[in-house]
Structure 1
Amino acid sequence: MVAILGLTDAGLEPFETIYHHLTDPPALAAVAQEESMAENAAQKEKHEKRISEIKDAKLIFNQAFKNVQDIHGRDNMRFPKEIIWLMGAPGSGKGTHTPAILRARGITNPPISMSSLLSTPECKDLINKGLMISDGKVVENLLHALLDCEPEVGILVDGFPRSEVQVECLKLLHERMHELRREYKQTPFKDYFPRPTFRICVLYVDEEISVNRQVMRGRLIKEHNAQVQQSGKGEIKEERVTDFDELLIRARYQIFKDHYSCLLKLSKIFPFHLINAVGNIDSVMRIILKEFEYQSSLELEHDTYEAISHIPLATKIGIHARQDLIRRLEHYCEAEPEIFSKAVGFIDQEVSPMVARHAISGQALVRSDNPILSDPKIVEVVMSILSERGYAVTMDERIHETPKRVDPKTWEIILERTHVYALNVRFPQHHIQPLEQKF
């Protein structure tokens, strides 16, 4: 790889220079260090971009959802229980396999085509003005379409998601549907908010097969339309420009390849396999149904899910933790000052000295048999104060039993029980540079 990168029109001299530097130990170390720094910078940039995309996606989805909810009302945000998200390479047979998928899943709602949703007068006006159709507009149109169908029988969506922001929005939609279910679970509307089921179907063919299929489709449509014009019987089919121009066909396939990273991201949220769509309709359909069975096997059964769904998700548990923490501290300081004062005194006398002693390590284990810790209110205040000051705290209570005497009549060993409380206090670790590295 080095030789290839080193070759230029000027000849082999650049390669020889690169080879010399890469075989020289000091130069090799310098190059390795530069490569490591560049790799770290690239990873940091990628991570920051990812965080930015997630924030943007949340803003986009929340605004789109609010716009739709303002029109329909919260009680009417009733989405289909099962949604099949169909994607694939150009010429992979999405249109061909859609009717069979609908029959197999018992879906009677007409499929939602994203290309049709984006051909509305409003979207066409944006395109005519040379403006991009935003992800927010795409998501908003999709939400309207999902609410306009019969929710009991499911729906198939063709062509979504197509960008990383849209992938995040799909994840947020799934979470919002779960949120609605929890919200309405104890109300008369609970049956209108079922547990969502998302199925991902991605059809794949390689570039040459894609090109051949589209060219063949264009030829057959042209022959069909010619026969209709001659006989006057039948309907004229749409002739797509992309079915006749090979450059445009390959450009469409390149767009699919460019979006491949979105599919990888999607597979980490909703696991799925690419479906080889080269075979005939029946064989491909068998693979699709097998894929749906695989995705179904990754989900909990209905009764199991219902039994545990009341337990909050780990990702949600800390959303309002800061507000709750402040509320607790304000309450104890104003309404129960004696408890608050005892908690502060315990921290000053037993926790802070131990933390100071372990300042470099970033962790201190504080053991205490102080009886005030038997009061759960004091424990709550202690942990809240330390959390507010930036420490991560966990607490454990254990009972130590110490033999004290033997009953001379029964020979029973009399034990003395002592409650011992252990606080594990964690905080940022400080790295001290060794003396020899300073010179």
Structure 2
Amino acid sequence: MTELRPDAGNPAGARTVFVEGDNLDVLPLLPKLPELEGRPVDLVYIDPPYNTGNGFAYADKQGYGRGRHEAWTAMLRPRLEAARDLMAPSGAIFVSIDDNEVAHLRLLLDEVFGERNFIAQVVVNLNPKGRQLGPFFATNHEYLLVYARSLAACALDPTSTHEVTEADFPQVHEDGRRFRHLPLRNTNKKSNPETCRTLAYPLWGDPVSGRVATTPFDGAREIWPVFGDGSPAVWRWSTRLVDERPADDLVCRTLRGRLGERVDVFQRDWLHPDRRKKLRTIWTHEEVGSTDTAVAEVKALVGKVFESPKPTGLLRRVLETYPDDAVVLDFFAGSGTTGHAALLADAADGGTRLSISVNAPEETRPASPARAAGFARVSEITEARLRAAAAVHGAAVAAYRLG
């Protein structure tokens, strides 16, 4: 009977787990891992073998006798289905892919996870110089396809503290706090006095002192929300919220619009240490690292033994979309970037993520730097990197073998 056999001396309570074996066989057995304690998987990231037309790893019985794209999707489909079954309703999956299979992968993920559970197709700029070997454009991007297990229950938070900069908040209050002005008026014309009647009301403001209130006061003017063309609008806040918020959260200002000078009300949107900003769908190498920085990361731990790893910055951004105690699964673990990134993220934010990295004992190429460095199988590179990274952070690794 096939099972996951623990290494002798596996430490108790390890939060970095490595499993050696074909992921199609391993995935159904993962719930038996003692480290999981019955928990579902919150976040899946995979970087499956890219189909360049020159053959690919995992060319197993799922793909024999089929065309190029059909064989690739036939290989991946049962693995995605097995991963889906492990995921919590609140979970999400991120899949790295290039142009060769992105269209077919999008359709496959629509089938496995449901078209309604699509979240985003992110463009990732991992090669700033561009690949120079092709006959046409110098491609310098790949993709991340993001799907929810169930969009209605998905816990993914598409914001980041690292995206927030002081430049976004150009104003400085007299007490030193930085802020930006946002119109208190709702700028969406679908929100108007007919659709949001309770938000169509007058405020009172003094453009000299900046004071704003829901009732008249000396020196105040009555201010109704209007669009730039003068048509009636509504506020974003109710009268109750205006009264409850600190007085300096709103300010009355004079401005010049298309119809001349007018007085309006603005929100002071403050910068604070925990401020977050929505992630965009284009991730640059300055933000998440590049293939070159990824190679350097692997080299620093186990040598220059992996050709195209993903940078830990990319995975740390993915990890940031879920709570710091998430269960994270990578079943095409490659060089071990996901497990390494989880260790780095825990060290930075005090998290307790459980990362599970699965890789098959695929042989390294005979003349490759990996073979020259003594790695007979790719899975040995994965495990070596995870153990080296864990040692840096004083963490433990539990390992299992399919047998």
Higher relative contact order (CA 8 A, sep 6+): 2
- Structure with the largest fraction of helix: 1
Q: Larger % of strand: which?
A: 2
TM-score (norm 1): 0.20
- Name which one, 1 or 2, has greater alpha-carbon Rg: 1
